[in-house]
C-alpha cells in the first residue's frame, strides 16, 4: 500500500457515541492524553490528541502515534457493580468488537487487553493503559488505523489498513465509545455474560504460556479468567492467578 498522504484531521463533531459521554475534546499535540485527563478527571470525559509526545503503555512502554492515521484517546469511566480488575479487560473487549464492527476484520485479545489482528499474523493493532483515580478509571487507548506497513514503528505492530481493512477514525472512535459504555453497564448487572464474550475472543485461554512477573517466571496453561479479572494458570504446582498490574509479559510457552 502506498504511504498515506496529506492525512485528514479528525473531525470531533463526527464522533457521536451518545449518552453518557461528554463532547470530544480534540487537542493537536500533548505529552499524554492520560495526563491531560488526570489533571481534571471528570466522569465520561473524552480527550483525543492528534499527536502524543510521550504516549505511555503498560509498564512505562511507549506508544507512538501517527497524526492522521492513529487514535490516541483517553476517557474516564466511573465504576459501579464490577471488580476494578475487569475494567482493563472490558476496555479491550470493547475496542476489539468496535474494530470488527467497523472494519470487518476479525480480532483477538491477548490477556489482559492487547488487540491483535489474525489477518496480520496476530500482530498488535492497539494497546490500553488504565489508571485508577478517586473519580473513576482513566482508560487510555492507542490504535493504529491508517498506517501503511512501512509506516509502522515495530515489526510486531500492524494497523487496520495494513491488515486489509478500511475505516474512518471517527467511525471507529464512535463505535468504541458506544461499546465501552454498553459493556460497562452490562458488566455492572451481569459480569458472567461479559466474561463469556471476553473468553470467546481471548486467544490466551487454553494455550501454554510463560508469565514473566517482576521477580519470577511461571509456565502453565491459561485456563480461565477469574472474578477479579486475573489470568488463572494450571501449573505443575497447581492453579496460579496473576493480575494485569503484576505482569511484565505473557508469552507462548514455546517461542
Residues 82, 131: one domain? yes
- Tens of pLDDT, residues 200-248: 999 999 999 998 888 888 899 999 999 999 999 999 999 999 988 767 7
Main-chain phi, psi angles of 73, to 5 degrees: -135, 140
Helix or strand holding residue 193 (H, E): helix 191-201
CA 149 to chain centroid, in Å, comes to 21
Does residue 97 form part of some domain?
yes
Residue/partner pairs of 228-234 with CB below 8 Å, 24 or more apart = 228/83, 228/85, 228/86, 229/83, 229/85, 229/86, 229/87, 229/88, 229/89, 229/112, 230/85, 231/111, 231/112, 231/204, 233/209
Adjacent-strand bridge partners of 177? none
Cis peptide bond prior to 93, omega within 30° of 0:
no
Residues 81, 166: one domain? yes
Residues 40, 17: one domain? yes
Domain span including residue 234: 208-252
**How far is Cα 205 from Cα 116, in angstroms, rounded to an integer?**
14
CATH of the domain at 247: 2.30.30.100
pTM: 0.92
- Tens of pLDDT, residues 85-144: 999 999 999 999 999 999 999 999 999 999 999 999 999 999 999 999 989 999 999 999
Does residue 7 form part of some domain?
no
Does residue 6 form part of some domain?
no
Amino acid at each position: 500500500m502506498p504511504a498515506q498522504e496529506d492525512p485528514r484531521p479528525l473531525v470531533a463533531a463526527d464522533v457521536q457515541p451518545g449518552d453518557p459521554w461528554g463532547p470530544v475534546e480534540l487537542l493537536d499535540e500533548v505529552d499524554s492524553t492520560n495526563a491531560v485527563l488526570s489533571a481534571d478527571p471528570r466522569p465520561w470525559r473524552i480527550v483525543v490528541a492528534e499527536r502524543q509526545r510521550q504516549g505511555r503503555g503498560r509498564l512505562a512502554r511507549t506508544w507512538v502515534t501517527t497524526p492522521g492515521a492513529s487514535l490516541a484517546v483517553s476517557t474516564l469511566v466511573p465504576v459501579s457493580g464490577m471488580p476494578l480488575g475487569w475494567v482493563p479487560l472490558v476496555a479491550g473487549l470493547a475496542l476489539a468488537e468496535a474494530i470488527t464492527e467497523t472494519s470487518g476484520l476479525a480480532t483477538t485479545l491477548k490477556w489482559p487487553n492487547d488487540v491483535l489482528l489474525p489477518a496480520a499474523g496476530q500482530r498488535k493493532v492497539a494497546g490500553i493503559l488504565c489508571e485508577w483515580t478517586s473519580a473513576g478509571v482513566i482508560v487510555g487507548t492507542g490504535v493504529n488505523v491508517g498506517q501503511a506497513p512501512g509506516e509502522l514503528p515495530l515489526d510486531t505492530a500492524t494497523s487496520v489498513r495494513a491488515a486489509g481493512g478500511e475505516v474512518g477514525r471517527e467511525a471507529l472512535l464512535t463505535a468504541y465509545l458506544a461499546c465501552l459504555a454498553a459493556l460497562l453497564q452490562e458488566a455492572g448487572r451481569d459480569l458472567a455474560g461479559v466474561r463469556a464474550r471476553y473468553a470467546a475472543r481471548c486467544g490466551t485461554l487454553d494455550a501454554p504460556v510463560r508469565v514473566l512477573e517482576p521477580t519470577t517466571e511461571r509456565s502453565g496453561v491459561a485456563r480461565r479468567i477469574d472474578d477479579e479479572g486475573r489470568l488463572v494458570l494450571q501449573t505443575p504446582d497447581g492453579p496460579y492467578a496473576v493480575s494485569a498490574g503484576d505482569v511484565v509479559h505473557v508469552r507462548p510457552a514455546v517461542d
